[in-house]
């Protein structure tokens, strides 16, 4: 049964099949780049909460062994789309990062502050290598440069929800990625 489209949704930007195909392509590329790696050497770090669905789908499509860990950050206060540039660490990873190949898995890069913060955080922990994967990027919104190694889709400057992405912790479990009606986030 298809999930009904909520009234707050303006239009579907990326449907399930489109996302699935692109995640498979990303997984193929990552699997090929990390070919031959040992399970204990390869760590995917998912950024909570937004990346949980992307990470689940991506990791299950990787053909190389890897471990999974999570980190939680906050950059926007609830109900606010305004950018503060202030990133807060809420929960750190449990894994030892030193000497391991780390791939940060993020839902979306917007201003770039979050990924830059994470990149610096992990860089300081002496990983064997450090790369980033983001399902989405909004290039028009970028304020700081961030190293992006694997990107799913470049999207316009609209607030999107679904496939893990939220607005005020809502709409995360929609199977597609949709633009919200501006009135929803403009209040």
Partner touching 83 among Mg ion, ligand IMP, none, CB below 5 to 8 Å by kind: ligand IMP
Query: Could you tell me which residues are beta bridge partners of residue 178?
Result: 12, 161
Q: Provide the minimum distance between the beta carbon of 40 and Mg ion in the complex, in angstroms, as a whole number.
A: 27
- How far apart are the C-alpha atoms of 146 and 105, rounded to whole Å? 13
Closest CA to 152 of 17, 31, 21, 10: 21
- How far apart are the C-alpha atoms of 55 and 70, rounded to whole Å? 10
Q: Residue 57 or 107: which CB sits closer to ligand IMP?
A: 107
Q: Which residues contact 55 (CB under 8 A, 6 or more apart)?
A: 44, 46, 68, 105
The CB-nearest residue to Mg ion is 50
54 binds ligand IMP (CB under 6 A): no
- Active site includes 110? yes
Of the residues 34, 54, 70, 113, which one makes contact with ligand IMP according to CB under 6 A: 113
Of the residues 45, 57, 97, 112, which one makes contact with ligand IMP according to CB under 6 A: 112
107 binds ligand IMP (CB under 6 A): yes
Of the residues 83, 86, 89, 98, which one makes contact with ligand IMP according to CB under 6 A: 83
Closest CA to 152 of 160, 144, 96, 180: 160
- How far apart are the C-alpha atoms of 152 and 155, rounded to whole Å? 10
50 binds Mg ion (CB under 5 A): yes
Of the residues 110, 119, 130, 176, which one makes contact with ligand IMP according to CB under 6 A: 110
Kindly indicate which of the ranges 22-30, 43-51, 79-87, 115-123 contains the residues binding Mg ion, using the contact rule CB under 5 A.
Answer: 43-51
Partner touching 152 among ligand IMP, Mg ion, none, CB below 5 to 8 Å by kind: none
Segment 94-98 long-range contacts (CB within 8 Å, at least 24 positions apart): 94/69, 95/43, 95/67, 95/69, 97/43, 97/122, 97/125, 97/126, 97/127, 98/125, 98/126, 98/127
Chain residues binding ligand IMP by CB under 6 A are 50, 75-76, 83, 106-115, 159-161, 165-166
Residues known to be catalytic: 110
């Amino acid at each position: 049964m298809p999930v009904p489209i909520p009234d707050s949704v303006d239009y579907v930007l990326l449907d399930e099949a489109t996302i699935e195909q692109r995640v498979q392509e990303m997984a193929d590329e990552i699997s090929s780049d990390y070919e031959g790696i040992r399970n204990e050497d390869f760590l995917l770090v998912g950024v909570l909460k937004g990346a949980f669905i992307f990470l689940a789908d991506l990791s299950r499509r990787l053909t190389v062994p890897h471990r999974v860990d999570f980190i939680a950050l906050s950059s926007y206060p609830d109900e606010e789309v305004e950018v503060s540039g202030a990133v807060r660490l809420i929960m750190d990873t449990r894994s030892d990062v030193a000497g391991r190949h780390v791939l940060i898995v993020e839902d979306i890069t917007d201003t770039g502050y979050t990924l830059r913060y994470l990149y610096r955080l992990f860089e300081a922990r002496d990983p064997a290598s450090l790369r980033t994967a983001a399902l989405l990027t909004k290039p028009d919104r970028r304020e700081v440069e961030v190293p992006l190694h694997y990107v799913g889709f470049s999207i316009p400057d609209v607030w999107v929800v679904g496939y893990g992405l939220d607005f005020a912790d809502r709409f995360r479990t929609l199977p597609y990625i949709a633009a919200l009606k501006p009135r929803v986030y403009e209040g």
